Chains A and B, each alone.
Chain A
Amino acid sequence: SQQGEEDPQALSIQEGENATMNCSYKTSINNLQWYRQNSGRGLVHLILIRSNEREKHSGRLRVTLDTSKKSSSLLITASRAADTASYFCATDTPNDYKLSFGAGTTVTVRA
C-alpha cells in the first residue's frame, strides 16, 4: 500500500521559477527520501532526510520535514527545462526498511 501522497499531481512552471511539491504520509517514519524519474527511465535518488531533521539542502533542492504534520516539501529553485520529470517521495518506518512510494508529482518546466 502507498503511504506517501504527493500534491499537486501535476505542476507546470516557467523556466527560472521555483517549484514546490508536498508529500503527506500516514504513519511514523524513519526516513523520507525524494526521487526523480525522467520519462522512460528509472528513479534517481535526490535527497534523504531523517526523522530527526527538519530541513536539508542539496544544490537547488530544499527539503523540509514536519513530523508533527506528517508532511514534507521539496522545493526546486530556479528551475530548468532539465528538471522536467516526475518526483516521488518515499518513506520507511522503524524496523521495516521497505520503502513506500507515493504516486508522484509530474513537473513540466517550460522554456
Chain B
Amino acid sequence: GAGVSQSPSNKVTEKGKDVELRCDPISGHTALYWYRQSLGQGLEFLIYFQGNSAPDKSGLPSDRFSAERTGGSVSTLTIQRTQQEDSAVYLCASSLWTGLSNQPQHFGDGTRLSIL
C-alpha cells in the first residue's frame, strides 16, 4: 500500500507569509506525528495526534504554529507569519497504536521549507 505522503515537497515563500503543509498518513494508522529537522540535525518533535484524543502540542515552538487532523486522517501543519528561522524540513510520520507500547513510525519524505 501507499506510504506516508507529504505535499508540497518543496516550498519557498517570503518572510511574513502563511504556509500550509499537508500530510496523508498510511491508511489505518491512528497515530500521526509532525517533526522539524534543521540542516544536519536530528528531529524536533512538534505535535502528535492519536485517534480522537486531544493532540499533544507540547513541541510547537510558538503560537504561530498550529496543526489539525480532519476525520482522523489527513493533517495540515500551518505556520503563520513565517520567519527565517522556520526554514527546515518538516517531516510527518504515522504509526499503528496498540496502547501498550510504541510502534515503528513510518515517515514521509518531508516538505523542505525555505523562508526568504
Within 8 Å by CB of B42, from A33, A48, A50, A102, lies A102
Within 8 Å by CB of A98, from B4, B45, B91, lies B45
Interface residues of B (CB under 8 A from A): 4, 31, 33, 35, 40-45, 48, 50, 56, 59, 91, 93, 101-102, 104-110
Q: Does A101 contact B (CB under 8 A)?
A: yes
Which residue of chain A lies nearest to B103 when distances are taken between CB atoms in the complex? A48
Contact residues in A for B59 (Cβ distance below 8 Å)? 98
Q: Is the CB of A42 within 8 A of B45?
A: no
Q: Is the CB of A50 within 8 A of B101?
A: yes
State the CA gap A92–B35 with chains docked (Å).
Answer: 15
Instruction: Please list 27 pairs of residues, one from A and one from B, whose beta carbons are closer than 8 Å in the complex, sorted by A's number.
Output: A31-B101, A33-B102, A33-B104, A35-B107, A40-B109, A41-B109, A42-B108, A42-B109, A43-B43, A43-B105, A44-B107, A88-B42, A90-B43, A92-B102, A97-B31, A97-B50, A98-B33, A98-B48, A98-B59, A99-B43, A99-B105, A100-B45, A101-B35, A101-B43, A103-B41, A104-B41, A104-B42
Q: Is the CB of B107 within 8 A of A30?
A: no
CB distance from B89 to the nearest CB of A (A): 9
Q: Is the CB of B56 within 8 A of A42?
A: no
Q: Is the interface of A mostly helix, strand, loop or mixed?
A: strand
The 4 A-B residue pairs with the shortest CB-CB distance, nearest first, are: A42-B107, A45-B104, A101-B43, A101-B42
Q: Does A2 contact B (CB under 8 A)?
A: yes
